Structure 1
């Protein structure tokens, strides 16, 4: 009998506002998560983009898979505002997503407001220290 630790993919199966962010993670639904997250119709998922400063289509594959249930995608790019790469913006547009990049703090605040309004919002949030 093995007593090894089992590590599962981080996933909260519901929609919840983000209560706090910083120190490399997020708090929501009475829990905390260290690292970046995706807030999607299917729930809140742990997320590890390959390069948070240069997002690619592969980084947002889970978002694209759920694009039908999303009107607005907020992308929290970390502490500072950075534009999404043009090819990625086009891929998201082709999937019918309106994507807005901003600092993670701005994205968290906007996500919470749109979620409270019961809008079809999703967020890709890069953790900040």
Structure 2
């Protein structure tokens, strides 16, 4: 049974309007797989099946980071980031891991955290609600949501 999250819509902003077993609804459009979206712009379907498939390169690509040229002396400066933030980079990345909260390994999160992007991992239901709140506060938030398994 779908859970209605948001009745009122601002057509200019992506809003999570409902979720249920195996699906998510953004602006009253149903998505059956993993998706990624920000308040503005397209809702992107992802070929992601499982949280275990998320690695550092996947997250960096998701937020639009281009790998920096490899500096052979980078090991001397632990604080040097591996990439620069693109314009409009998110302040926070919300990762909804389905019906159970699954934490990602620190080495997966480290490159984004080093650039000042906050990362929150939670159930997809909690991530959907949190996204709507942050979006309504005009925060630069990016959501990566995996739907729960249908029962």
Q: TM-score, normalised by structure 1?
A: 0.78
Shift of 1:61: 4.0
33-42 or 104-113, which deviates more = 33-42
**Is structure 2 residue 94 aligned with structure 1 residue 95?**
no
Counterparts of 1:30-109 in structure 2, within 5 Å, are: 30-40=28-38, 41-49=40-48, 51-65=50-64, 68=86, 69=88, 70-109=90-129
Shift of 1:59: 3.0
The equivalent residue for 1:16 is 14
The equivalent residue for 2:7 is none
The structure 1 segments of at least 4 consecutive aligned residues displaced by more than 6 Å after TM superposition are none
Gaps of 5+ in 2: 1-11, 66-84
**Count of aligned residue pairs for this structure pair:** 116
Shift of 1:117: 1.1
The equivalent residue for 2:141 is 121
SS of residue paired to 2:51:
coil
Query: Do the aligned residues in 2 keep the contact of 1:35 with 1:126 (CA within 8 Å)?
Result: yes
Query: Do the aligned residues in 2 keep the contact of 1:74 with 1:107 (CA within 8 Å)?
Result: yes
Shift of 1:73: 0.8
SS of residue paired to 2:94:
strand
The structure where strand makes up a greater share of residues is: 1
SS of residue paired to 2:52:
coil
Greater CA radius of gyration, 1 or 2?
2
